[in-house]
């Protein structure tokens, strides 16, 4: 293997490593952004669930339900 081939392999290896680092860095940013969106959505769902639980466990709601069944 000659010196030009070694130099070509070193250049190709360096470019490949740089491209991998950029790809990996962007992937982590996208994952982080998606994780933040999912956490926000989870909090909204928890709030809605708490509201629904308070409505269903309310005595007036249960009374209305019993009256409607009659």
| In contact, 53 and 47? CB cutoff 8 Å | no
Output the pLDDT for position 24: 78
Quick one: pLDDT band at residue 39, thresholds 50, 70, 90? very high
The answer to pTM > 0.75 is: no
Quick one: pLDDT band at residue 46, thresholds 50, 70, 90? very high
Quick one: pLDDT band at residue 63, thresholds 50, 70, 90? confident
**Domain assignment of residue 50, given as a range:** 36-70
Say how many domains are in the chain.
1
Distances (CA, A) of 64 to 20, 41, 48, 60, 68: 62, 32, 21, 6, 6
Quick one: pLDDT band at residue 30, thresholds 50, 70, 90? low
Looking only at Cα atoms, what is the longest distance across the chain? 94
- Within-domain flag for 66: yes
- Within-domain flag for 9: no
């Amino acid at each position: 293997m000659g010196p030009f081939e070694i130099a070509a392999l070193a250049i190709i290896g360096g470019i490949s490593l740089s491209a991998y680092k950029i790809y990996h860095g962007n992937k982590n940013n996208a994952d982080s952004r998606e994780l933040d969106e999912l956490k926000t959505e989870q909090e909204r769902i928890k709030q809605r669930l708490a509201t629904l639980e308070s409505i269903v466990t309310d005595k007036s709601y249960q009374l209305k339900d019993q009256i409607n069944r009659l």
